[in-house]
Amino acid sequence: MDFFDALVRYETSLWNHLDRRLGHAGAVSLATLTAVRVVDRYRGTCRVQELRADLGITVGAASKLVDRLERDGLALRRANPDDGRSSLIDLTPTGAEALADGVEALEDALDHQLGNEPDLMSVTDFLVRVDAKLHALTAEVAR
């Protein structure tokens, strides 16, 4: 229980802290930056599905998220040549700029916050490992 409490608590405070920092730096919100980073990661092959999976939200939420990215001029849907059911999502030049600026501000804030932590790598490995176990278990339960 202690671990769970510490995890939730720290994730929340770090998220809020970084979001405030981004705002102060004139960058997009951390939520928007996180979404834009996913779109960029898939380089022209990002569908609503990818956003759903990577962000841990529902398809409906992911669809509305893309609506907002389009509305704000950060991304655009384009027809998927391989599957008429889905669109592919690309960053606009404005979106690419917001990504670059946001990532720079985020890296600065993280470095300032965690640059001196020697155990960062091992804790990261732990988180990645237990997350993988969790997904294996969830897939198993779903059967």
Partner DNA sequence: AAAGATTGACTAATCAATCTTG
Partner DNA sequence: CAAGATTGATTAGTCAATCTTT
Binding residues for a copy of itself, rule: CB under 8 A, are 1-4, 6-18, 34, 54-56, 103, 106-107, 110, 113-114, 117, 119-120, 122-124, 126-128, 130-131, 133-135, 137-138
- What single string gives the DSSP state of each residue in 85-120? T-EEEEE-HHHHHHHHHHHHHHHHHHHHHHTT-TTH
For residue 64, the minimal CB distance to DNA (Å) is 5
Print the binding letters for residues 49-88 with DNA: x by CB under 7 A, - otherwise: x------xxxxxx-xxxxxx--------x--x--xxxxx-
Query: Is 56:65 a contact under the CB 8 Å cutoff?
Result: no
From the list DNA, a copy of itself, none, partner contacted by residue 58 (C-beta under 5 to 8 A by kind)? DNA
From the list DNA, a copy of itself, none, partner contacted by residue 83 (C-beta under 5 to 8 A by kind)? DNA
For residue 67, the minimal CB distance to a copy of itself (Å) is 21
For residue 44, the minimal CB distance to a copy of itself (Å) is 21
Q: How many CA atoms lie within 13 A of 142 on its CB side?
A: 6
For residue 38, the minimal CB distance to a copy of itself (Å) is 10
AA identity, residue 94? T
* Distance between CA atoms of residues 51 and 61, nearest Å: 9
11 binds DNA (CB under 7 A): no
31 binds DNA (CB under 7 A): yes
Query: Is 110:18 a contact under the CB 8 Å cutoff?
Result: yes
What is the b/e burial string over 79-100, where b = at least 16 CB atoms within 10 angstroms of the residue's CB? eeeeeeeebbbbbeeebbebbe
